[in-house]
A and B are shown apart, each in its own frame.
Chain A
Amino acid sequence: MIFERRLLTRDRGTGILEKLWQIPWSFVLLLCGVAAVGYVALLSAGSGNPDLYAQKHAIRFGFGLVMMLCIALVDIRVIARFAWLGYLGGVALLVLVLLHGNIGKGAQRWIDVGPIQLQPSELMKIMLVLALAAWFHRASWERIGNPLFLIPPAIAVLVPVGLILKQPNLGTALITCMIGAAVFWAAGMRWWKFAIGFAAAAVAAPIAYDRLHDYQRARITTFLDPESDPLGAGYNIIQSKIALGSGGMWGKGFLQGTQGHLNFLPEKQTDFIFTMIAEEFGLVGALTTLGMLLLIVAFCYLVAFRSRHQFGRLLAIGLGTNYFLYVFVNVAMVTGSIPVGGVPLPLISHGGSAMLTVMLGFGLLLSAYVHRDAEMGPMRE
């Protein structure tokens, strides 16, 4: 049965209309819903004035949506072919940002690309997933068991991680590592090698802590005891928790969040947008939003399970983990569960770079879904 269906759709000459039909519009609708939540939250962050954040957010999302749909129509095999090229491009941008980047919060993170500011580390995560998926695509179980085979992809992870650390941006570097690890895991790397890797990381952590910048150390110590420095580094976490907690079950109502509107909440339109939602719409609003984001991640798994080629599976898992990490780190951060890391909540928080890279990733995901039955060539030993 399955084999026959694959034969039916394996021809890559499928027409544009057929592909458009294949696009999971319910997922696109879900994305629009999440973006709408973002619009409402940003409207509130702008005190009801759409010109401040919400309007730009809608325009960016529209632009991202078109880009996503265009990418969705690109054949997954073409994408796979240029995966390493994309990876090299990402590394080149990381080098460029180190040489010519704009400095924000003591780190070189942005480069100006026309009207928008691009954060190459965001793009890099997508490109890394692509490259790793391409690397492991045809590798058999036995081949992945060969340590030599794992060295090139390990280098492919460590090079961008090193460059991101150099910016320095500890949080994103760690997230990039985790995404890489997820793809390695899904590809079938032996679990005891993971165990060794974690043990090595545990040993290296104290040494790494010594080499951290002061602000990074402050973040970690503040996390451990936010009340220790209530007006300094701990201020953000405390105010965020107060905003969340005071929202209660049903929230204070749209535009009624005192913590946000009286500016106690820091960076409310970017990193702390989720707090804004939770304050004004309560636990109900927060869990609804979280549920929608969970659905996005779940869809990535759906794509992975339905893909008939390993490239698609690994790509979907990698992209799903990428989005999952955005959501988890951001929400855990605003609830005071992990150190403040400057991680946005893509599709909801204000900011073009994360939105566009995430939409780019979803374009690739949709392509993998549309071309889930594509013939990708046989496995190699």
Chain B
Amino acid sequence: MTAWRPWGGPGLLGGERSIRKEEERRRGIFTRRAAVLGAIQLGAFGFLGSRLYRLQVEEGARYATLAEENRVSARLFAPPRGRILDRNGKVVAGNRLNWRALLVAEQTADVGATLETFSKIVPLADHDKARIEREIRRNRRFVPVILREFLSWEEMARLEVNAPDLPGISVDMGTTRIYPETEHLAHVVGYVAAPAERDLDDDPLLQLPGIRVGRAGVERHHDRILRGRAGAVEVEVNAVGRVIRELDRREGIPGQDVQISIDAELQKVIRGKIDEGTTAVLLDARNGEVLAMATKPSFDPNIFNAGVSAAQWRQWTAARTTPLINKATNGLYAPGSTFKMIVALAALDAKVCRPGDIVSCPGHLDFGNNRFHCHNRNGHGGMNMRSAIMASCDVYFYEMARRVGIDRIAAMANRFGLGVDLDIELPGTRRGLVPTRGWRQAQGKPWSIGDTIVHGIGQGFYQLTPLSLAVMTARLATGRAVQPHLTRTIGGRPARGSRPEDWPSLGVAEADLRLIREAMWGVVNGGGTAGVARIPGQYGQLAGKTGTTQVRRVTREQRERGYNANAVPREWRPHALFVCYAPHDNPLFALSVIVEHGTSGSGAAAPLARDIMVEAFQRLGPARPGQRVAEAGR
């Protein structure tokens, strides 16, 4: 290309006129092209304007919400957990202040050195140190990390004195659950622990660090009520989440106190009387309130709060005595002779015998090729229903069972709360087992008359909880379908079911029930099997029934040599049972007692039941105001 000189001589075209003409043409082209370009650029500005209009006006509200969500962060805080009180207002699950040491990493120049100083004042376990380092690494530097919980006064004082050497460390106050009754009420009250994955529901509270939820017992059943509703602080946060200021605070709803029907003092006294493997359930016969539910061994629920060590957990779960299991609701036992009232009622209800019908007891019943023994080898002679219950004659009930059939027995048992789900506030309560012909056949096995005969004395497949036996006794005593329950008041308001009228009648003939009650009275007061259980006259009279259930079959050879249950190893000895209610003429209390390997109901369970009843009368008896029932003199 030739060099170009802007202000050089005349161009090749030459001539002023043609230059002007060409210039005009070029200028025209430029003008058109520039106009196109300008129009494009103006259009682009228009596009930007419309885009802004759409974002800021048409979608403005949506983006305003998003900006608010960005800016405002709701921080939850836990309300205090509701307490659990016993029937006298004694706190059985409460809250205790928990002083915690926190570290904010960004407030100290050297985290390592600060931790070092801290651990000289308050010792830290190695696993704690590892956890702290992990949390500091994981969290943003302004998030407080818990160094130690449950600081003692002395430790707090030392931290205060050394505060200048502990930049970034502060002490804050939380709460922790405390169970003053320790192991005495552990199975009823339950315990709290950190929520597991399956506990997480829609409650945002559970996302909070350090939150505890009820994991067993009343703590679990009433968890929502006790937990309350989370309070929230709305704070303005910046892009990295640091709190700039507090915008709004909404106090949470504190958890409500739950009052349960247990008498903690009575419970403690009863537990003082029983040995390992023994269970006693005391109900208010009129309304089903559980007054005491004692079993041994137990555990200290306070341990769960801070976390159970692996060794402790192994020890609990490996123990044959199963301390973690509430035997009152989860222990399964054959009812033995305590079941005979049900068989009798089923026979009366089905009209297969009249109360006065005599069955002769020669000491055994032969049926087919089998011989069914009575506990009295010499036989009771002629027995009517009343005397059969009082003497606990097996042959009489073999015969009754044979007459009435297993299914009608089962139906009667279910009416009395046996083998059905009980509506009690203890999660995991077992239903037990009351066999029927259909149940056995569903397993592909036949049901024979012989099976029915064995079940007539409460042996065989029966698996019942001590709680359900107490319910059966209460229903026998009152004729009402009382359900066992623990809740008396929630947040001060009475819960349903505290009045006898709240419970419907069982619909069992009153005459039949009266006969059974008379017989049970006779067991204790009329020369029956449990004369030992008689209680002092001022408390009225006690009516009950003994039971002894084999845990190991007694062989023919043993029987012929003269079987002595006390001579065999302890874990082979029969369980001892006793169910009773009192006073006979105006039932207040219903009680079931099971002494594992107690050998005999009258020997081990009845005297214990008597003592428990006396304690119950002394603490909760009719002398106390407000306890007397209206229907006196029945």
Chain A residues packing against B (C-beta within 8 Å): 3, 77, 80-81, 134, 137-138, 140-141, 149, 152, 182, 185-188, 239, 241-249, 258-259, 262-264, 278, 282-283, 286-287, 290, 294, 297, 301, 304-305, 310-311, 313, 317, 320-321, 324, 327-328, 331-332, 335, 337, 375-381
How many whole Å from A153's CB to the nearest CB in chain B?
A: 11
Contacting pair B64 A246 (CB below 8 A):
yes
Q: How far does the alpha carbon of A337 sit from the alpha carbon of B50 in the complex, in Å?
A: 12
| Distance A331 CA – B44 CA, assembled complex (angstroms) | 11
Known pairs A245-B63, A317-B34; A262 contacts B70 (CB<8 A): yes
Known interface pairs A137-B6, A297-B41. Does A332 touch B48 (Cβ–Cβ under 8 Å)? yes
The answer on a CB contact under 8 Å between B19 and A378 is yes
Task: Choose from B30, B31, B48, B66 the contact partner of A328 (Cβ within 8 Å).
Answer: B48
Say whether B25 contacts A377, CB under 8 Å: no
Across the interface, A249 reaches (CB within 8 A) one of B11, B49, B60, namely B60
Q: Does B173 contact A (CB under 8 A)?
A: no
| A152-B55 contact given A297-B41, A379-B11, CB 8 Å threshold | no
A139 CB, nearest partner CB in chain B, Å: 9
CB–CB A244/B33 < 8 A: no
B67 near A: Cβ within 8 Å? Answer: yes
Given A242-B63, A247-B56, A248-B56, decide whether A81 and B70 contact each other with a Cβ distance below 8 A.
no
**Besides A262-B70, A283-B56, A328-B45, 15 other A-B contacts (C-beta < 8 A):** A134-B4, A149-B1, A185-B37, A239-B70, A243-B63, A244-B52, A245-B55, A245-B67, A246-B66, A310-B30, A311-B6, A335-B48, A337-B47, A378-B19, A380-B4
Chain B residues whose C-beta falls within 8 Å of the C-beta of A137 in the assembled complex: 4, 6
User: Please, which residues of chain A bring their CB within 8 A of the CB of B49?
Assistant: 287, 290
A–B complex contacts, Cβ < 8 Å, 12 sampled: A137-B4, A149-B1, A188-B26, A243-B67, A244-B63, A245-B55, A245-B56, A248-B57, A249-B57, A258-B236, A305-B31, A313-B30
- The verdict on A324 contacting B26 (CB below 8 Å), with A241-B55, A244-B56 known, is no
Q: A283-B53, A290-B49 known; A379 and B37 CB under 8 Å?
A: no
Residues of A within 8 A of B5 (CB): 377
A379 and B13 contact, CB distance less than 8 A: yes
Please, what's the 1-or-0 string for B3-18, where 1 marks a CB less than 8 Å from any CB in chain A?
A: 0111110111100000
B274 interface contact, C-beta 8 A? no
For B10, B25, B45, B239, the residue with the greatest tally of chain A CB atoms inside 10 Å of its CB is: B45
Q: Which residue of A lies closest to B4 (CB)?
A: A138
CB distance from A112 to the nearest CB of B (A): 31
Is A301 a contact of B11 with CB atoms below 8 Å? no
In the bound assembly, the distance between CA atoms of A243 and B62 in angstroms comes to: 11
Given A245-B63, A379-B22, check contact A77 B7 (CB 8 Å).
yes
- A282 to B63 CA separation, bound complex (whole angstroms): 13
> A77-B6, A259-B70, A381-B11 are contacts. A246–B41 as well, Cβ < 8 Å?
no
Most buried by A among B25, B37, B240: B37
| B70 smallest CB distance to A (angstroms) | 5
Q: Which 5 A-B pairs have the closest CB atoms?
A: A245-B63, A246-B67, A378-B11, A263-B239, A262-B238
Q: For A244, what are the chain B residues with a Cβ–Cβ distance below 8 Å? A: 52, 55-56, 63
Residues of chain A with a CB closer than 8 A to B23's CB: 379
Nearest CB of chain A from residue B241's CB, rounded to whole Å: 10
A290 touches B237 (CB 8 A): no
Given contacts A262-B236, A304-B34, A321-B37, contact A290 B63 (CB under 8 A): no
Q: Verify A286–B34 contact, CB threshold 8 A.
A: no
Q: A245-B55, A262-B236 are in contact. Are A380 and B12 (CB under 8 A)?
A: yes
> Which listed residue, B7, B44, B60, touches A377 by the CB 8 Å rule?
B7
B375: chain A residues within 8 A (beta carbon)? none
B57 to chain A, nearest CB (A): 6
Give Cα distance in the complex from A187 to B30, angstroms: 6
| Chain A residue nearest in CB terms to B71 | A258
- Taken together as a complex, chains A and B put the C-alpha atoms of A208 and B37 apart, in Å, by 27
Whether the pair B52, A138 counts as a contact (CB closer than 8 A) is: no
Say yes or no for B51: interface residue by CB 8 A criterion.
yes
Q: Which of B29, B52, B56, B244 has the most CB of A within 10 A?
A: B56
Tell me the chain B residues, 92-129 only, with Cβ under 8 Å from chain A: none
Given contacts A241-B63, A262-B70, contact A141 B25 (CB under 8 A): yes
A313 in contact with B57 (CB, 8 Å): no
Verify B70–A258 contact, CB threshold 8 A: yes
- Cβ-defined partner of B56 (8 Å) among A249, A304, A321, A376: A249
Distance between Cα atoms of A290 and B67 in the complex (Å): 23
With contacts A377-B7, A379-B22 known, is A242 near B66, CB below 8 A? yes
Interface pair A376/B6, CB less than 8 Å apart: yes
Q: For the complex formed, measure the closest distance between the CB of A346 and the CB atoms of chain B, giving whole angstroms.
A: 16
B6 CB contacts on chain A under 8 angstroms: 77, 80-81, 134, 137-138, 311, 376-377
A186-B33 CB under 8 A given contacts A80-B6, A140-B22, A262-B70: yes
Tell me the complex Cα distance, A28–B5, Å: 32
Q: CB-CB contacts of B386-411 with A at 8 A, as 1s and 0s? A: 00000000000000000000000000
User: Among B12, B34, B59, which residue has the most Cβ atoms of chain A within 10 A?
Assistant: B34
Chain A neighbourhood of B59, CB < 8 A: 245
Question: Known contacts being A185-B37, A381-B11, is A262 close to B4, with CB within 8 Å?
Answer: no
Q: Are B70 and A264 in contact (CB under 8 A)?
A: yes
Complexed CA–CA distance, A188 and B179 (Å): 93
Neighbouring B residues of A310 by C-beta, 8 Å: 26-27, 30
Please determine whether B45 and A182 come into contact, CB atoms closer than 8 angstroms: no
B272 interfacial contact with A, CB 8 Å: no
Alpha-carbon distance between A185 and B37 when the two chains are bound, in angstroms: 8
Are the C-beta atoms of A283 and B57 separated by less than 8 Å? yes
Whether B38 is near chain A, meaning CB under 8 Å from some CB there, is yes
Q: How far is the CA of A301 from the CA of B33 in the complex (A)?
A: 12
Instruction: Give the residues in chain A near B31, CB-CB below 8 Å.
Output: 305
Kindly provide the distance from the CB of B5 to the nearest chain A CB, expressed in whole angstroms: 7
Closest A residue to B238 by CB, please name it.
A262
Q: Could you tell me the distance between the alpha carbons of A305 and B49 in the complex, rounded to whole angstroms?
A: 26
CB distance from A250 to the nearest CB of B (A): 10
* A381 touching B30 in the complex, CB below 8 Å, given contacts A242-B63, A332-B48: no
